[in-house]
Amino acid sequence: MLLTTDTALARRALRGDREAFDRIFDASLPCVWRFAARQSRGRAAAERLTERVLARVFADLERYDGEVPFAAWLLSLCKETAGQGGTSTQLARARRAPPHGASAGDGKPLR
């Protein structure tokens, strides 16, 4: 097992440690948002995908075992979730679209 700060934070968050949960959320949001913005056509679609991914991350947090870096596990959930939302035609179109900015309109991450 690759015991990292992320693994320790995930374990603490699962035990109800709000600070650990907040740290994982704050660290995850920018990565998930960038992924969603690249996969989606438009800000609203990126926000919906970000919401779905983050909900899945925290629903599946107990499955994170530390065998891979947290960022790799997070990216795999992003890909799986994006693949579940929409037809392959919609996803292909979204992938051809130019990338959107990675920050919220005011430059602050969504929360």
- What pLDDT does residue 69 have? 81
CATH code of 5-93, in short, is: 1.10.1740.10
pLDDT tens track, the chain, 111 positions: 445 688 888 888 888 898 988 888 888 889 889 989 998 889 999 999 999 988 888 888 888 888 888 888 888 888 999 887 643 444 444 444 443 443 344 444 434
CB 6 within 8 A of CB 57: no
* pTM exceeding the 0.85 threshold for the entire prediction: no
Strand (E) or helix (H) holding 23: helix 18-39
Strand (E) or helix (H) holding 76: helix 70-84
